[in-house]
Amino acid sequence: MLSVAHASVWHWEQVGTELNRMRAKMLLAEVHALLGFGPSAFSLASEILNYFSTRDTPDWEIALTHTIYAHAAHAAGKSTKHRAAYAKAVAAIGVIENAEERDIVSKTFENIPVP
């Protein structure tokens, strides 16, 4: 899982757009959080939060960004940031218009410990 996430980042750095690269980093941040690599997960998640929150971003992607940031904050032991991001993720998931996209983001959200 970790190797595939790193390969994805490498691939998109070679041939992708900035959006492709940031989505690959989003995957890598989530994998790092799942594996308990708190500092690197949080660094990556902070980068993607900054990227996706400063441009026109689809509702599902904003929700996924907050979800992964919350997970990374938890992995990094940043309880205040975890709690705030968790609440933002809940709110953002609640406004995803497309049911299929909401279900996909919700499956990732299920991995995050409740604050």
pLDDT for res 48? 98
Has residue 115 been placed in a domain?
no
State pLDDT tens for residues 44-98: 999 999 999 999 999 999 999 999 999 999 999 999 999 999 999 999 999 999 9
Count of the separate structural domains present in the chain: 1
What is the average per-residue pLDDT within 28-38? 97
Query: Please, are residues 45 and 69 in contact by the beta-carbon 8 Å criterion?
Result: yes
pLDDT for res 41? 98
The CATH number assigned to the domain holding 12 equals 1.25.40
Has residue 52 been placed in a domain?
yes
What is the average per-residue pLDDT within 16-20? 96
Whole domain around residue 41: which residue ranges? 2-109
pTM score of the predicted model: 0.96
Q: Mean pLDDT of all residues in the chain?
A: 97
